C-alpha cells in the first residue's frame, strides 16, 4: 500500500455548503477552490445544478465551474439531480458529473421526488446527451449510490439491492459507480463486504470511490477498510463542513485535513501539502462566520518531526 497514490475528491464547496444556512460569497468560493488546488487537491466537486430556490447556496454553480476550469490540472466535478442539471453542467464545462441515486427508494422520493425507475430514465437521458458530444468534450459520468450503507427512513438497506442498482447504473451507461454513506451508518466490515460485492457485479474498475461520513466517528476507520479492499478515491470536506440535509441527524463529512494526515502518515501519496491545506481553513473562517469548523489535525497541529514524503 505504501507509496500508492490516493485521490482525494474535495466535496466541501458542494456537500458542505449545501448543508449550512450561510451563503458563501462567490469570491470566497473561488478563493477556496484556488487555494485547495494550490495545496495539491486535484479534484473538487464545486457545486450542484439544482434550482436556486431549493439551494440558494449553490445558485452560482455555473460561474464557479467556469472559474474552476481555468485552474490548471484541476478536475472540476459537479452533482446533478437530473437531465436538466446535466445540460447545465455540460454547458458550463464540468469535467465530471455525478448523479445521486438513493439505494433507499423512500429517500429517493424525499430527496429528488423520483422512484428508482424514474432516476434510471434520467441516467439514460444523460448518457444520450453525453454520447452526443465529441469524445474530448465528454465529461466523465458517475452514478453515486447514496444511502448505500443504511437509511434514516428505511433503516437497513440490503446489500443485494445496492449491487442490483450499481449494475443497473452501469447498464444504463454510467462510466463508474460510487458508494455513499449518506447517513453515517457504515462500519468497516460492511464497507469491505459491500465493495467486494459491488465489484463482483460491475467489475473492479467500475467502482473506485467512496463517499463516507463521520457521523458516528467511523469515517477514517471506514476509509482504512476501503483502502484494504483497493479503493483509491475518497471524498471529504475541508473542515468537515456539511452533511446530508435530507437524512435527518446525519452530519459531518470526513475532514479533508484529517484524511490527508492519515494517508500521508501511512506513507500513501495524496499529492497534497498539509501545511498549505490547513491554511485554507482561514478562507472558510472569514467567509462563514458562526459556522462550526471541524478537524482533529487542525486543532492539535502536525506531530513533531512529521515530514511529508510527497510534499
Residues at the site binding Zn ion, with contacts judged by CB under 5 A: 15, 253
Give me 280's grid cell.
Answer: 485554507
Q: Nearest approach, Cβ of 14 to Zn ion (angstroms)?
A: 9
Buried (b) or exposed (e) across 285-300, using 16+ Cβ within 10 A? eebbeebebbbebbee
Nearest distance from C-beta of residue 304 to Zn ion, angstroms:
33
The enclosing H or E element of 61 equals helix 61-68
Residue 206 · residue 177 · CB < 8 Å: yes
CB 259 to Zn ion: min, Å: 13
96 or 273, CB closer to Zn ion?
A: 96
CB of 2 to Zn ion, least distance (A): 28
151 is catalytic: no
What DSSP line would sit under 229-284, residue for residue?
TT--EEEEBGGG--B-TTSTT-B-BPBHHHHHHHHHHTT-B----HHHHHHHHHHH
CB of 233 to Zn ion, least distance (A): 14
Burial pattern 4-38, b for ≥16 Cβ within 10 A else e, equals eebbbbbbbbbbbbbbbeebbeeebbbbbbbbbbe
Nearer to Zn ion, 79 or 119 (CB): 79
Nearer to Zn ion, 15 or 176 (CB): 15
| Dist. CA 207–CA 16, nearest whole Å | 23
Question: How far apart are CB 75 and Zn ion at their closest, in Å?
Answer: 18
172 with 127: CB under 8 angstroms? yes
User: Which of these is catalytic: 244, 254, 272, 288?
Assistant: 244
Backbone angles phi, psi at 146, to 5 degrees: -85, 170
- Extract the C-alpha cell encoding 130: 453525453
The 10 Å Cβ neighbour count of residue 158 is 10
Measured CA to CA, the distance from residue 17 to residue 21 in angstroms comes to 8
* Residue 16 vs 40, nearer CB to Zn ion: 16
- Nearest to Zn ion of 16, 273 (CB atom): 16
**Cell matching residue 142:** 458517475
Nearer to Zn ion by Cβ, of 15 and 105: the residue is 15
Catalytic residue numbers read 244
Amino acid at each position: 500500500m505504501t507509496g500508492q497514490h490516493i485521490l482525494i475528491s474535495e466535496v466541501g464547496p458542494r456537500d458542505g455548503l449545501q448543508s449550512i444556512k450561510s451563503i458563501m460569497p462567490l469570491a470566497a468560493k473561488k478563493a477556496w477552490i484556488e487555494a485547495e488546488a494550490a495545496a495539491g487537491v486535484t479534484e473538487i466537486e464545486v457545486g450542484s445544478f439544482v434550482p436556486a430556490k431549493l439551494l440558494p447556496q449553490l445558485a452560482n454553480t455555473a460561474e464557479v465551474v467556469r472559474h474552476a476550469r481555468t485552474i490548471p490540472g484541476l478536475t472540476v466535478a459537479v452533482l446533478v439531480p437530473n437531465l436538466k442539471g446535466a445540460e447545465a453542467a455540460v454547458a458550463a464545462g464540468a469535467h465530471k458529473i455525478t448523479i445521486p441515486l438513493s439505494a433507499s427508494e423512500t429517500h429517493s422520493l424525499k430527496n429528488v421526488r423520483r422512484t428508482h425507475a424514474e432516476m434510471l430514465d434520467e441516467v439514460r437521458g444523460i448518457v444520450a446527451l453525453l454520447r452526443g458530444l465529441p469524445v474530448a468534450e465528454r465529461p466523465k459520468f458517475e452514478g453515486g449510490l447514496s444511502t448505500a450503507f443504511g437509511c434514516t427512513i428505511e433503516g437497513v438497506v440490503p446489500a443485494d439491492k445496492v449491487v442490483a442498482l450499481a449494475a443497473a447504473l452501469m447498464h444504463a451507461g454510467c462510466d463508474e459507480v460510487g458508494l455513499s454513506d449518506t447517513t453515517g451508518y457504515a462500519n468497516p466490515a460492511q464497507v469491505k463486504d459491500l465493495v467486494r460485492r459491488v465489484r463482483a457485479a460491475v467489475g473492479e474498475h467500475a467502482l473506485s470511490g467512496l463517499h463516507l461520513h463521520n457521523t458516528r466517528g467511523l469515517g477514517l476507520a471506514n476509509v482504512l477498510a476501503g483502502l484494504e479492499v483497493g479503493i483509491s478515491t475518497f471524498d471529504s470536506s475541508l473542515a468537515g463542513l456539511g452533511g446530508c440535509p435530507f437524512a435527518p441527524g446525519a452530519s459531518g463529512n470526513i475532514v479533508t485535513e484529517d484524511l490527508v494526515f492519515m494517508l500521508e502518515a501511512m506513507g500513501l501519496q495524496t499529492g497534497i501539502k498539509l501545511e498549505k491545506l490547513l491554511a485554507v481553513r482561514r478562507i472558510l473562517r472569514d467567509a462563514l462566520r458562526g459556522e462550526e469548523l471541524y478537524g482533529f489535525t487542525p486543532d492539535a497541529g502536525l506531530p513533531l518531526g512529521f515530514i511529508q514524503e510527497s510534499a
